[in-house]
Amino acid sequence: MAGLNGDPFLGIDDNIEKLQYNNNSKEAIDKEGLVVGIGEDSSNNKNNNQGGEKDMAGNSIHRSGSRPQLDLSKAEIQGNSEERDPTILLPNQTDDISHLALDIGGSLIKLVYFSRHEDQSVDDKRKKIVKERLGISNGNRRNFPVLGGRLHFVKFETSKLNECLDFISSKQLHRGGIDSHHWNSEAPANENAVIKATGGGAYKFADLFKERLGVSIDKEDEMDCLVAGANFLLKAIRHEAFTHMEGHKEFVQIDHNDLFPYLLVNIGSGVSIIKVDGDGKFQRVSGTNVGGGTYWGLGRLLTKCNSFDELLELSQRGDNRTIDMLVGDIYGGMDYSKIGLSASTIASSFGKAISDKKELQDYRPEDISLSLLRMISYNIGQISYLNALRFGLKRIFFGGFFIRGHAYTMDTISFAVHFWSKGEAQAMFLRHEGFLGAVGAFMSYQKHGLDDLMVHHLVERFPMGAPYTGGKIHGPPLGDLNEKISWMEKFVLKGTEITAPVPMAPPGTTGLGGFEVPSSRGATLRSDASALNVGVLHLVPTLEVFPLLADPKMYEPNTIDLSDHKELEYWFTVLSGHLPDLVDKAVASEGGTDDAKRRGDAFARAFSAHLARLMEEPAAYGKLGLANLLELREECLREFQFLDAYRSIKQRENEASLAVLPDLLLELDHMDEETRLLTLIEGVLAANIFDWGSRACVDFYHKGTIIEIYRMSRNKMQRPWRVDDFDLFKERMLGSEGKKPRPHKRALLFVDNSGADIVLGMLPLARELLRRGTEVVLVANSLPALNDVTAMELPDIVAEAAKHCDILRRAAEAGGLLVDAMNNNSLDGSRGNSSSVPLMVVENGCGSPCIDLRQVSSELAAAAKHADLVILEGMGRALHTNFNARFKCEALKLAMVKNQRLAEKLIKGKIYDCVCRYEPAT
């Protein structure tokens, strides 16, 4: 790096000559010489590198992973050609390698790679009609060529480069990935294939990548990548940043509109300190050559440790007071309170070694390691704050694999920043601390639209191979189902060895400011906790924030605070107790075959292992809520290919409920308006008792038929309920003093369980709203979760119900749910039955018993724009989440409480209490 070589204190790992490239390309040229305009390059950052070369005629051809060549031969439209902006497949396109990027450092190789979701789109006329009615287009395909997939984070030791190359080769990541239908496996290898990489190894190992994989390394500037990676993660991941002080970890929500400026401190072998003013706007303002390499180098010389992690683990059993000179050593055990120094503050690192008549072998390696770690971490924190002070910055983010999620390291840095700033500045850490460069390199493929992704577009899932594979350094994540099952079978033989925490000495003074050594449950602490628990990011650009939230920034879906360890322990016990029954249902749903039993056993072990890990480190996967735990269970089921564990049960309960629906509707029609409305609400609450996620309710199933239990429950609906706003809702619906109120324009009904819940509870309520001229949108899960009804199943249930009810039939036809019954000359249900208000079904975008309204489907967001009533039904959607949510429109929250602890915590009631909470528009 010309101009930087003369300063010995810059903290740059390698002295690498910087290559200059042209960055003015506005076009790409394909192999036939066809010019394909792919957008103007608006970047004006002088550090962005692009490559160029000459063709046979001497004309300039710009080759870059950011602006790939397009091979348009045999291009075809995927799926329905009538669809707006349909996806176009390029079967012979092999330059498009936007799914893999690397950061090759001196000690670690970090990979970020993308795997596409299988395309599950079907030519669904019902969906097409609903989309047309809601005004939904597929225009976002232009912005996001990669519409669905997963972003994976993997690391290898650089000394094991061949293992990394084998991993890339085995997954064909350098050729598009084995999971992608976009790639033609029979296409010849492309000599011009490139992958993005940053770090010194991008230069050092370029020839090896060409030799082993046949790909060229497109080298990206290291500082550009660090900043781009940090900006993306801070904007796109809700729980990316956290503070760590005196053993307490607290996540910080960053408003992406108020992110800049900030100081980024990247601690690798050396330290770079960067002032970030915006996207692509930054300046390296300082650095130090005393960093991770110093700790590892001196530690290796002084302790004979064979790895960085071994040295780090050693520090956890150390006592730096035997080596460091403390303030108390100088002042006879007293504080120096006049200048704010406690007796346990370090006055001189390694200071006692001056006066002690000891040789190196007389000191414990554990004490040396801790003293060394404290010295380096403290100085990095101090230098960072002084630079923040220099520029008037309050936010300092620390990244780099030196930190490793290590509590002592973070506490030391935090103490230094807090001490020198007198509490005015704050040290913050990043969960993806070591992947900043790799993410930035991935972001340099500008064609995939990731720059525009927001926090609601990314859903972090729990890794199924990592964090349990490969020990302290991630090995290949388990992608193949048989690999996952085999590994879980081995896990049982090893007991808890793989997840066992690092031993730690009893809590004692750290020697910094007098705070105690961080401890966790059982006086144990993992040195590598957060480094091993980076989740998989699911990219879903079609997710949006629910537009009816009164204040999206203040919205918190979870009502249960799992930061309380006793609360966490209780819900883990509930989930563990439900596990055997869930496994039985899952295996039965797949026919009870030997294969299903083997997968069921593997699922149980995987889910149990995750629960054990989260009990040890609750913040391992970010801020944890009950909704996250329930989602984890469903995600584990899907990972072992149990796509709908309650399929047969749901079908049986739907059939039983539909059989008695005509009698219920007849009963309702003979009631006066006021009695009918009360009976409908009672019916929703009574039907909500059928919930296979509740142990108390499962016991009910042995006491009678589904109809007998429903009627018994309805007959016991004695008012007042625990939360009883029915009279307010009745006045809004029926009016008062002879005044008829204006009917709602559109109601969104968030439905819960299959069977009696939807058929005998929510459908009759929907029918009443339709009768009053209100459009009704039934909002159901996109994916199965327990016995919840899904948006895919709901149209068939409505169709069966409509056979016995003209109101439902006309509305279902108008809403496109009865396609076969509509006029063949019209695809638009509204033209087929313009006199009736429509009944529609949309998916909510999730596959959990709960719902986070910050991440809903584009269909639901579109349906919400003209809605003036939201009805949330069931424990998961109305109690576990969203009980405290406030909306711009009217809201009705209905649920029967089926958990004693939830009843006590939330409504100060008891099990089987009912909640009918009506909230006017805010």
C-alpha–C-alpha distance, residues 149 and 295, integer Å: 39
Angle, CA of 705, 708 and 714, to the nearest 5°: 140
CB burial class (10 A; 0-12, 13-18, 19+) of residue 583? buried
Provide the 8-state DSSP code for 258: G
Query: Do 267 and 291 contact (CB within 8 A), yes or no?
Result: yes
Nearest Cα neighbor of 602 from 481, 494, 496 is 481
Q: What is the helix, strand, coil percentage profile of the chain, to 5?
A: 40, 15, 45
Provide the 8-state DSSP code for 315: H
Question: Token pair for residue 656?
Answer: 């039983």
When the candidates are 3.30.420.40, 3.30.465.10, 3.40.50.970, 1.10.760.10, the CATH number that belongs to 241-323+363-430 is: 3.30.420.40
User: How many residues belong to the chain?
Assistant: 922
Query: Do 890 and 870 contact (CB within 8 A), yes or no?
Result: yes
Could you give the C-alpha distances from 345 to 49, 330, 529, in angstroms and in order?
47, 11, 27
Query: Do 605 and 596 contact (CB within 8 A), yes or no?
Result: no
Angle, CA of 628, 630 and 633, to the nearest 5°: 110
Report pLDDT for 620.
73
Contacts 24+ apart (CB under 8 A), 521-525: 521/565, 521/615, 521/616, 524/616, 525/316, 525/407, 525/501
pTM of the prediction?
A: 0.80
Query: Do 236 and 212 contact (CB within 8 A), yes or no?
Result: no
For the domain covering 646-819+835-919, report its CATH number. Answer: 3.40.50.10880
Collapsing DSSP to helix, strand or coil, 900 comes out as helix
Report pLDDT for 598.
93
C-alpha–C-alpha distance, residues 523 and 504, integer Å: 7
When the candidates are 1.20.1250.20, 3.30.420.510, 3.30.420.130, 3.30.2350.10, the CATH number that belongs to 69-134+146-176+192-240+432-466+530-539 is: 3.30.420.510
CB burial class (10 A; 0-12, 13-18, 19+) of residue 47? middle
Query: Do 286 and 296 contact (CB within 8 A), yes or no?
Result: no
CB burial class (10 A; 0-12, 13-18, 19+) of residue 814? buried
SS3 readout for 709-777:
HHHHHHHCCCCCCCEECHHHHHHHHHCECCECCCCCCEEEEECCECCHHHHHHHHHHHHHHHHCCCEEE
Query: For the chain, what are the domain ranges?
Result: 69-134+146-176+192-240+432-466+530-539, 241-323+363-430, 561-624, 646-819+835-919
- Return the exposure string of 427-465: e unless at least 16 CB atoms fall within 10 Å of the residue's CB, then b: bbbbbbbbbbbbbbbbbbbbbbbbeebebbbbbbbbbbb
pLDDT in tens, 616-651: 778 777 788 888 889 889 988 988 899 999 999 899
> Which H or E element spans position 53?
strand 51-54
Given a cut of 50, the residues of the chain with pLDDT beneath it are 1-75, 77-98, 119-123, 139-146, 178-188, 465-476, 492-533, 821-834
241-323+363-430 and 646-819+835-919 in the same fold = no
> Which H or E element spans position 687?
helix 673-687
pLDDT in tens, 588-622: 999 999 999 999 998 998 888 788 878 877 877 77
Write down the residue that tokens 């290919």 correspond to.
641
C-alpha–C-alpha distance, residues 500 and 609, integer Å: 11
